[in-house]
């Protein structure tokens, strides 16, 4: 039996298989509100047969958006717009939904990727960014404003409020974004956090704010709801955040009832040197899973069914996440099931679609 297509319990949530659709920014919201693009995009992914579908990185404040077109969950208006999308998804699919709550910190206020992606100044229609320290992401960018305690408290509460909204919408899994050089990652790395107060300097101090945010969210949400975090296991820069520090963070998160760690890497600085080869981040997920005992999601250039099967079957990670690969092939789980001898849930409208010889591919309607 294919291990990739065995059920998995994420906290109290039972997943049909080990395939996760990773959060992928669409830059298609209007004033933080989900649009028909999200209905189309998430709609076809919800029919893919994966075990869990992540909604994209969702800003907890307007200032926390990467771009003006980022999805948000900070107001009644943004909640209502996302509720409309989720209601329609549920009509035809009961695939569990997850959301990634995020604040971009110093990487906020940028143009859309397909228009260049550079930072937009307040004079050009952008906004002032914030970070642990007044250090820009690159030499070409404006320095962010260093957060004071009041600002940190407000952002922590914004994470809590967004998590409460997500739970009210019926979203089954909540993930905090502490990877890819965004705000919580900025607090973790000594390259971006050069504070001289209780939130900077030592590793213990640099962990403090991300752990406070996680603990506040965990306390605000019922214990049965799985809550996890996405981290960059290394900055890929000498003297930066690394796997050793990630293991210490994972241990602290475990004590706060963290249900999973979604293991990525990089994004903090343009100076990073990433060896982008298939599965280049899997060993980080493996170490966290085995040395700390927290369930992990492996992600990063996982493209082939046999590759994903090997990761789960060998115990390197509990779940595997696909991002660009599933954008390119939204029926990847179907094809993987056909290759590995697994089964996936599909709507009856598609039951006649499998090629000859794969008649047992589908298990039922969603």
pLDDT of residue 321: 98
pLDDT at position 352: 87
Q: Give me the pLDDT at residue 12, please.
A: 92
Q: Give me the CATH topology for the region 3-350.
A: TIM Barrel (3.20.20)
Report the candidate in 216, 104, 221 with the shortest Cα–Cα distance to residue 169.
Answer: 221
DSSP-assigned states of every residue in 184-227: HHHHH-TTT---SSTTSSSHHHHHHHHHHHHHHHHHHS-TTS-E
Report the C-alpha gap between 151 and 129 in whole angstroms. 12
- 149-168 and 203-220 helices cross at what angle (nearest 10)? 40
Residue 365 has what pLDDT?
Answer: 44
Burial of 203 (0-12, 13-18, 19+ CB in 10 A): middle
Residues 6+ apart with CB under 8 A from 258: 214, 218, 227, 228, 229, 250, 294
In tens digits, what is the pLDDT along the chain, a chain of 366 residues? 899 999 999 999 999 999 999 999 999 999 999 999 999 999 999 999 999 999 999 999 999 999 999 999 999 999 999 999 999 999 999 999 999 999 999 999 999 999 998 999 999 999 999 999 999 999 889 999 999 999 999 999 999 999 999 999 999 999 999 999 999 999 999 999 999 999 999 999 999 999 999 999 999 999 999 999 999 999 999 999 999 999 999 999 999 999 999 999 999 999 999 998 988 999 999 999 999 999 999 999 999 999 999 999 999 999 999 999 999 999 999 999 999 999 999 998 999 888 877 768 898 644
Residues 6+ apart with CB under 8 A from 166: 58, 73, 99, 101, 174
Residue 366, pLDDT score: 42
Which active-site residues does the annotation give? 182
pLDDT of residue 358: 74
Residue 159: exposure state from Cβ atoms within 10 A (0-12, 13-18, ≥19): buried
Can you tell me the distance from the alpha carbon of 284 to that of 295, in angstroms, rounded to the nearest whole number? 12
**Longest CA pairwise span in the chain (Å):** 66
Written as six digits, the tokens of 113 are: 């990727």
């Amino acid at each position: 039996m294919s291990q990739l297509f065995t059920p998995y319990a994420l906290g109290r949530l039972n997943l049909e298989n080990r395939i996760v659709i990773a959060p992928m920014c669409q830059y298609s919201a209007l004033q933080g509100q989900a649009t028909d693009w999200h209905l189309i995009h998430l709609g076809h992914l919800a029919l893919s047969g994966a075990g869990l579908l992540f909604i994209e990185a969702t800003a907890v404040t307007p200032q926390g958006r990467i771009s003006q077109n980022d999805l948000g969950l900070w107001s009644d208006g943004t909640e209502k717009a996302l509720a409309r999308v989720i209601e329609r998804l549920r009509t035809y699919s009961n695939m569990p939904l997850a959301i990634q709550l995020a604040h971009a910190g110093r990487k906020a206020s940028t143009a859309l990727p397909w228009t260049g992606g550079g930072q937009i100044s307040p004079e050009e229609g952008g906004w002032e960014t914030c970070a642990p320290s007044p250090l820009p992401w690159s030499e070409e960018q404006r320095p962010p404003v260093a957060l004071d305690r009041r600002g940190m408290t407000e952002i922590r509460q914004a994470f809590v409020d967004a998590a409460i909204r997500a739970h009210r919408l019926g979203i089954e899994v909540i993930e905090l974004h502490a990877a890819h050089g965004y705000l919580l990652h900025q607090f973790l790395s000594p390259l971006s956090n050069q504070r001289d107060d209780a939130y900077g300097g030592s590793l213990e101090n640099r962990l403090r704010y991300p752990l406070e945010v996680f603990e506040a969210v965990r306390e605000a949400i019922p214990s049965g709801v799985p809550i996890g975090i996405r981290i960059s296991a290394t900055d890929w820069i000498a003297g930066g955040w690394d796997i050793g520090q990630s293991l210490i963070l994972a241990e602290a998160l475990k004590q706060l009832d963290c249900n999973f760690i979604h293991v990525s890497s990089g994004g903090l600085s343009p100076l990073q040197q990433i060896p982008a080869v298939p599965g280049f981040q899997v060993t980080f997920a493996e170490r966290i899973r085995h040395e700390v005992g927290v369930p992990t999601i492996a992600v990063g250039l996982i493209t082939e069914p046999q590759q994903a099967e090997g990761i789960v079957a060998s115990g390197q990670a509990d779940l595997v996440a696909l991002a660009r690969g599933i954008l390119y092939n939204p029926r990847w789980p179907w094809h993987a099931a056909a290759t590995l001898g697994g089964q996936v849930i599909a709507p009856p409208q598609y039951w006649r679609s499998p090629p000859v010889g794969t008649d047992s591919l589908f298990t039922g309607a969603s």
